[in-house]
Structure 1
Amino acid sequence: MTSEKVIELVDRETPELISQLRKLVEIPSISALANHESDVEASAETVKTMFTEIGIPSRVVRAKNPDGTLGRPAVLGRKIVDPDAPTVLLYAHHDVQPIGEEYRWSFPPLELTESGDRLYGRGSADCGIGIVVHWGALKALGDDLPVNVVVFIEGEEEIGSPSFTDFLATYRDELRSDVIVVADSNNWTVDVPALTSSLRGLAGMDVTVKVLDHAVHSGMYGGPILDAVTLSARLIASLHDEQGNIAVEGLQGNPEADVDWDEDEFRSDAGVVDGYHLAGTGDLAARVWTQPAIAVIGMDVRPVAESSNTIAPECTFRLSVRTVPGTDPEDTFAAVKAHIEKHCPFGAHLTVSRTETGPGYLAANGDAADLFRDCLKTAWKQEPVSIGVGGSIPFIAQFQSEFPEAEVLVTGVEDPASNAHSENESASKTVLRNATVAEGIFLARLATTGSRAVE
Structure 2
Amino acid sequence: MTADALASAVDRLMAQAREDLERLVAIPSVASEERVPVPAGREAAELVEGLYRDLGFDDIRLLDADDGSVVVLGRTVGPVGAPRVLLYAHYDVQPAGDEDAWSSDPWTLTERDGRWYARGAADCKGNLVMHLTALRALRDVEGGWPVSLTVVCEGSEEMSTGGLERLVAAQPDLFAADVIVVADTGNVEAGVPTVTTSLRGTGSVLVTVRTLSGPVHSGAFGGAAPDAMAALIRVLDTLRDDDGATTVGGVPTDGKWTGAAYPVERFRSDAGVLDGVDVIGGGTVADALWARPVATVLAIEGPAIKDVTASVQAEARAVVNLRVPAGVDAADAQQRLVEQLTAAAPWNARITVEPKTLGRPFAARTDGPAYAALAVAMEQAYGRPMVQTGQGGAIPLCVTLSEAHPDAEILLIGVEEPACRIHAPDESVSPDELRRTAVAEALLLRALSAGRGP
Superposed counterparts of 1:34-433, under 5 Å: 34=35, 37=38, 39-57=40-58, 58-65=60-67, 71-142=68-139, 143-253=143-253, 254-365=255-366, 366-433=368-435
Matching residue of 2:436: 434
Aligned equivalents of 1:360, 1:119: Cα separation in 2: 31
Q: Which moved more, 1:194-203 or 1:265-274?
A: 265-274
Q: Secondary structure at the match of 1:133?
A: helix
Offset at 1:38? 5.1
Offset at 1:34? 4.1
* TM-score (norm: length of structure 2): 0.94
8 Å Cα contact 2:88-2:153 kept in structure 1: yes
Q: Secondary structure at the match of 2:276?
A: coil
8 Å Cα contact 1:62-1:167 kept in structure 2: no
Aligned equivalents of 1:152, 1:282: Cα separation in 2: 38
8 Å Cα contact 1:61-1:75 kept in structure 2: yes
8 Å Cα contact 1:203-1:329 kept in structure 2: yes
| Aligned-CA RMSD value | 1.7
Q: Secondary structure at the match of 1:76?
A: strand
Matching residue of 1:68: none
1:9 and 2:6 aligned: no
Corresponding letter in the other structure for 2:437? A
8 Å Cα contact 1:256-1:282 kept in structure 2: no
Aligned equivalents of 1:62, 1:145: Cα separation in 2: 28
Offset at 1:322? 0.9
Q: Secondary structure at the match of 1:245?
A: coil
Offset at 1:416? 0.9
Q: Which moved more, 1:330-339 or 1:176-185?
A: 330-339
Corresponding letter in the other structure for 2:441? E
Q: Which moved more, 1:318-327 or 1:378-387?
A: 318-327
From the superposition, tell whether residues 317 and 239 of structure 1 become closer, same or farther in structure 2 (CA, over 3 Å). same
8 Å Cα contact 1:257-1:283 kept in structure 2: no
8 Å Cα contact 1:29-1:36 kept in structure 2: no
Offset at 1:258? 3.1
Q: Percent identity?
A: 34
8 Å Cα contact 1:179-1:406 kept in structure 2: yes
CA deviations over 1:108-161 (Å, ceiling 9, x no partner): 211111123311100000001111111111111223311000000011111114
Aligned equivalents of 2:362, 2:246: Cα separation in 1: 21
8 Å Cα contact 1:193-1:412 kept in structure 2: no
Offset at 1:259? 2.9
8 Å Cα contact 1:130-1:413 kept in structure 2: yes
Aligned equivalents of 1:217, 1:283: Cα separation in 2: 47
Aligned equivalents of 1:313, 1:41: Cα separation in 2: 42
Offset at 1:105? 0.5
Corresponding letter in the other structure for 1:252? P
Offset at 1:228? 0.5
Offset at 1:35? 9.4
Q: Secondary structure at the match of 1:145?
A: coil
Offset at 1:304? 2.1
Q: How many residues align?
A: 445
Aligned equivalents of 1:164, 1:265: Cα separation in 2: 35
8 Å Cα contact 2:37-2:69 kept in structure 1: no
8 Å Cα contact 1:93-1:157 kept in structure 2: yes
Q: Secondary structure at the match of 1:409?
A: strand
Aligned equivalents of 1:409, 1:340: Cα separation in 2: 37
Q: Secondary structure at the match of 2:412?
A: strand
8 Å Cα contact 1:161-1:395 kept in structure 2: no
* TM-score (norm: length of structure 1): 0.94
Offset at 1:257? 4.0
Specify every segment of 5 or more residues in structure 1 that has no aligned partner in the other structure, as ranges. 66-70, 451-455
Aligned equivalents of 1:174, 1:85: Cα separation in 2: 17
Specify every segment of 5 or more residues in structure 2 that has no aligned partner in the other structure, as ranges. none
Aligned equivalents of 1:404, 1:327: Cα separation in 2: 20
